[in-house]
């Protein structure tokens, strides 16, 4: 199974994507709900590896 993972914001050109191959035996026999949850875990990992966020105090 080939899956495109992506993260984007409302800014033009902000889309970061990656294509991964998941072995068939890893997802074989999964229900649609299980597959959705499994792919969401890949997407969550992708997001966590791509996105940096935080804050910076610029005036007190």
- pTM of the shown model: 0.80
Average pLDDT, the chain: 95
Comparing C-alpha atoms, which of 1, 6, 2 is closest to residue 43?
6
**Distance between CA atoms of residues 15 and 6, nearest Å:** 7
In percent, the amount of the chain with pLDDT more than 70 equals 100
- 30-59 pLDDT per residue, tens: 999 999 999 999 999 999 999 998 999 999
Inside any domain, residue 56: no
- pLDDT score for 36: 98
Strand partners, 20: 3
**Distance between CA atoms of residues 58 and 1, nearest Å:** 47
Give backbone dihedrals phi and psi of 54, rounded to 5 degrees, phi first: 165, -155
Inside any domain, residue 23: yes
Inside any domain, residue 58: no
Q: Which domain holds residue 24?
A: 2-50
- Our count of domains for the chain comes to 1
Both tokens assigned to 29? 């026999």
């Amino acid at each position: 199974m080939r899956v495109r993972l992506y993260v984007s914001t409302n800014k033009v050109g902000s889309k970061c994507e990656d294509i991964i191959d998941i072995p068939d035996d890893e997802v074989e026999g999964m229900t649609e709900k299980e597959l959705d949850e499994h792919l969401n875990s890949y997407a969550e990992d992708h997001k966590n590896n791509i996105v940096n966020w935080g804050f910076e105090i610029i005036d007190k």
